[in-house]
Amino acid sequence: MSSFVKDLFLTKSFAVLRQDANASAMRRTLTAKDVILIGVGDIIGAGIFVITGKAAALYAGPAIVLSFVISGIACVFAGLAYSEMAALGTLPISGSAYTYTYATMGEVLAFIIGWDLCLEYLAGAASVAVGWSAYLISFAKYLGADIPNKLVSAPVAYHSDKGFFVDESCGVINLPAFLIVLALTVVLCVGIKQSAWVNHMFVGIKLVVILMFLFATFGSINPDNWSPFIPEPHNGHSYGFSGVLRASTLVFFAYIGFDAVSTCAQEVKRPARDMPIGILGSLGVCTVLYILVSLNLTGIAHYETLNSAAPLADAVKNLGMGWLKIAVSVGGISGLTSVMLVSLMAQARVFSAMAADGLLPASLGKIHPRFGTPLVPTIISGVTCAFASAFLPLDVLGDMTSAGTLFAFTLVSISVGVLRFTQPELERPFKVPGGPILVPFLGAACAITLIVTTGWSTVLRLVIWMAVGLVVYGGYGYRHSRLRNGRGIPLDDKSGVELSQTALVEEKGHEHAS
């Protein structure tokens, strides 16, 4: 039993991670500019164009601004932890929280967080696809096109009190969401550099549109819409400070951009320098934009009118600004496209990292010889996401993304503190300020607090997903683990000399005997 438990918590040495990085077929083509824009591409999107209105209407009212501040603070703690881990000169490898956990807390926890990241990115991309569809429909209706509701809505709806149900708003399939995910999957299969070019184009469009929205609507703000700033509970909605916290959880998934940035560290030219710049820089810029947009949005429209999948477009339409509605719709479509692109990119690379370690089938870790991308996991991720976006409602997808993201942030924050104590000699070009305890503890505490506010149904879904993951690990990952079976040919961390297979077996046997 002792041997079994030790196997579960075997850690992957940093020497092995260096070896994996050097042997990888992935191409290092991304610069600091690419990293920042990838982060902005994923962060600026659903949080501004979709979730802001829904969170304000259902939970926080004008105090949605405070929700973004709370989420931003929690993200700063997590972002600092991600920056330290991603900048380690010995860890320029894909996998994000999965890789960090494997190096610090052991294989079983690494698999759990990797499985969690699969949920985070798939649900996140699917929820954004639903918002993308809403902006496309809004734009099409403005141009006079009439799209049948049955082709643009999920077949079920969801409410926290009633659960899943069917009403007049339900359709047959969200076809636009389904098709856009498949199209982006094709782009991601072609190559990371081509995907970065597409991302840069969409990022530029949406940033221009956001600035246009801020300047054009500033003069239409009605301060009466901000009163009361934190509404009392009414009409069956839990406003008040508890509503502000609930909204913080709902908008939190919009911040997973810097998480996605860390998954492409193996494709960055200078990860020790560029990763902290990309993570913290994109997080800071995007948080400021979130706050400004939410202030303007709740100032030009009463918060109770914002329960829409395309709140910005609907709000400016009611102001009579037809030209701005077109611009916002185009910006929403562009912004959400870049978010889906980055989320799907990150998902495939987590699959690939886990497969390379033997925890998932080897086919998921193969890099296409021509495109230099993980082709099979990209296709699997894209198809799964396409079906989720076509048949599941936005509320369920958004909550699952937030819970998954927060769980990942918790383990990464803990990993930084653990690694400071277990391997203090590692070169750290960037360090979390305040020592190994304060910021990691605050990051983990904030994430756990926000997980609790998602509600029991979301937590239950997360637990069920993790239980399925443990079954997969027990049935496949535990038996095929490269590290546990001594197939990784790791290096001795102190000498840098390769350990022979015989030495590995003897060392492992000695460890079990003890």
Give the mean pLDDT of the chain.
78
Q: What is the mean pLDDT of residues 33-44?
A: 73
Q: Cα separation of 446 and 71, whole Å? A: 9
Q: What whole-number percentage of the chain has pLDDT above 90? A: 13
**Tell me, what CATH number does 203's domain have?**
1.20.1740.10
Q: Residue 401 is part of which domain span?
A: 2-513
How many domains would you assign to the chain? 1
Identify the helix (H) or strand (E) that includes residue 421.
helix 394-422
Q: For residue 334, give Cα distances in angstroms to 150, 205, 297.
A: 24, 7, 19
In this prediction, residue 98 carries a pLDDT of: 81
pLDDT in tens, 142-195: 777 878 888 888 888 776 666 677 777 788 899 999 999 999 898 888 765 555
Q: Which pTM value belongs to this model?
A: 0.74
Q: Are 94 and 26 within 8 A, CB to CB?
A: yes
Helices (H), 143-174: none
Q: Residue range 433-442: average pLDDT?
A: 87
* CA–CA dist 399, 124 (Å, integer): 9
473 pLDDT more than 90:
yes
Counting residues of the chain whose pLDDT is more than 70, the rounded percentage is 81
Q: Which two tokens stand for residue 177?
A: 């969401």
pLDDT score, position 504: 33
**Model confidence pLDDT, tens digit, residues 206-218:** 888 888 999 999 8
